[in-house]
Amino acid sequence: MAIDWSECDEIESVPGKMSGQPVLKGTRVLADTLVESFESGSTLEEIHENYPHLSKDEIRKVIAFYERQRQFVP
């Protein structure tokens, strides 16, 4: 997946943290992991059950950002 996460407020890329891959701020949860769960059919509730330390609002914002950006990915 080739989403540019740099404009998503909920995502950070920190050198040395998860090899600099985009993660939800303050966590080690990869943005792509949430997206893959969503794309495989998991609901917001199911994703939240798997990552209870994330708020539903954070998850919703990441998925919404992904939905807006994926139209630009070749």
CA–CA dist 52, 20 (Å, integer): 23
Q: Is 3 a member of any domain?
A: no
* pLDDT at position 2: 78
Q: Is 58 a member of any domain?
A: yes
CA–CA dist 12, 23 (Å, integer): 6
Q: Is 33 a member of any domain?
A: yes
For the chain, the straight-line distance linking the first and the last C-alpha, in angstroms and rounded, comes to 10
Q: What total number of domains does the chain contain?
A: 1
Per-residue pLDDT tens digits of the chain, which is 74 residues long: 578 999 999 999 999 999 999 999 999 999 999 999 999 999 999 999 999 999 999 999 999 999 999 877 66
Structural element, H or E, at residue 11: strand 11-12
Q: Is 52 a member of any domain?
A: yes
Residue 45, domain extent: 26-74
Q: Is 4 a member of any domain?
A: no
CA–CA dist 55, 10 (Å, integer): 11
* pLDDT at position 74: 62
Q: Is 11 a member of any domain?
A: no
